[in-house]
Amino acid sequence: MATVSLWQRPSRVEADVAIVGGGVIGTATAWALRRLAPDLRVVILEAERLAHGASGRNAGFLLLGTASDYASAVDRYGRDAARRLWAFTAEAFRLAAEVGEAEDVGFAHTGSVLAASIDAESERLRRSHALLAEDGVQTAFLEGDEADRQIGGTGFRSALVVPEGGALDPARLVRALARLSDAEVLATWRGTYVETDGDRVRLGAEGGGEAVADRVLIATNAYLPQLLPALADVVRPVRAQMLATAPAPPTLAAPVYSHEGYFYVRQRADGRVLLGGARHLHRDAEVGYADATTDALQASLAGYLAAHFPSLADVPVERRWSGTMGFSPDGLPVLGAVPDVPGARFAAGFTGHGMGYALRFGVLAARAILGESDDALDLFHAAG
Ligand SMILES: Cc1cc2nc3c(=O)[nH]c(=O)nc-3n(C[C@H](O)[C@H](O)[C@H](O)COP(=O)(O)OP(=O)(O)OC[C@H]3O[C@@H](n4cnc5c(N)ncnc54)[C@H](O)[C@@H]3O)c2cc1C
């Protein structure tokens, strides 16, 4: 095992707020805390380095709504909650655009496309279009060749075009948020326990070292049960795999989320095409924390390109990678209280959709830490 110096992991760290986990949710919370309470001393404690987890490995889609289409969200969560969740992510996108326009994070406001591959999915998109219109959100519903033309592909039944939404470089966003937050960032600081210390909270680090803070947020998403096994029911680890091609001619104008989100594809400004998904074809293999790609799933990604974007099928693949997502039982993230540790909260269960929630969720978590109210708190089963 590599050694760690006393300077890299001090024996004791004191802060007003300690955030465990340097992904997009941890850094968005630090960023929001700086805006709401500029004098607080905030420290981010990260097991590896900023954006080491899913936040540094995702496709960078900023989608509105939940992980499923609007009609499915209405059926699952009820009309009022679905409408409020949409508004929450619209605000998250507005905040991401504000940061994205000011910082060099590869932000593009392209809108986004949900694409249907079978008739049943197409009907849900048609219904989503109608329900969103009733709720004051204008989208376009296209069918057949019109849908294919909009997407830049072939073989899709229909497309729901959402004017809001876009994409960015997620790792650069995480680093920008950390910088803007002015928080102290300690890397190679892997938390091993959380406990009360009088009216404060104490965290321990692997290999020695502790942090003591008035308030703590555990923002480790999929890794939450490793630190707090009692919360294993909140989130389970699910693997996602991606690939990136060499630069290709312009094909896709906006991020495309198809096959109920089981495939997602976009093209960067430099021409590289990012494609991920196919987990539904390999469910048993795509669980747990292993950071690895498999030939079988990567072949499914190649099959998708051949079927729907044949002009891209022969473009060389430059990179393949995986990341660990944290899935919650109901598909929505949770902001909750750590049992028996007053002052400590956790944020987890972003269910493959954390970029879409991130900056607004950071504001929500920051307000909870500061004891301020937030009218979205009940959407995420927040306690305390
Ligand atoms: C391949 C892939 C593609 C995706 N595509 C998209 C997309 O396009 N759009 C979208 O909205 N979402 C997408 N997601 C999901 C999105 O990446 C996540 O929802 C989001 O990044 C979660 O952020 P987080 O900060 O909660 O967790 P993470 O980014 O996982 O951060 C948690 C951090 O905690 C650290 N950590 C873990 N344990 C400890 C410990 N004990 N002590 C200290 N630190 C610890 C980890 O090292 C990590 O840096 C994708 C995910 C993957 C894997």
Q: What angle do CA 213, 215, 219 make, to 5 degrees?
A: 105
Q: pTM of whole model > 0.95?
A: yes
**CA 24 to ligand 1 centroid distance, Å:** 7
pLDDT value of residue 381: 82
Which residue's CA is minimally distant from atom 22 of ligand 1?
354
**CA 168 to ligand 1 centroid distance, Å:** 15
Evaluated on CA atoms 360, 325, 332, 356, the torsion sign reads positive
Spell 319-357 as b/e; 16+ CB within 10 A means b. Answer: ebebbbbbbbeebbbbbbebeebebbbbbbbbbbbbbbb
**CB of 46 shorter than 6 A to ligand 1:** yes
CA separation for the pair 328, 338 (Å, rounded): 16
- Residue in the block written with tokens 């400590």: 344
pLDDT value of residue 9: 84
**CB of 55 shorter than 6 A to ligand 1:** yes
CA separation for the pair 27, 105 (Å, rounded): 15
Q: Please say whether the beta carbons of 220 and 227 come within 8 A.
A: yes
DSSP 39-93: T--EEEE-SSSTT-SGGGTS--EE-SS-SS-HHHHHHHH-HHHHHHHHHHHHHHH
**CB of 45 shorter than 6 A to ligand 1:** yes
CA separation for the pair 280, 73 (Å, rounded): 19
Structural domains of the chain sorted by starting position, each given as residue range(s) with its CATH number in brackets: 1-107+164-234+328-384 (3.50.50.60), 108-163+236-325 (3.30.9.10)
**CB of 57 shorter than 6 A to ligand 1:** yes
For ligand 1, mutation pick of 9, 52, 223 (most atoms within 8 Å of CB):
223
pLDDT profile of the chain (384 residues), mean per 10: 83 97 98 98 98 98 96 97 98 98 98 96 98 98 97 97 98 98 97 97 96 98 97 96 98 95 96 97 95 98 97 97 97 96 98 97 98 96 52
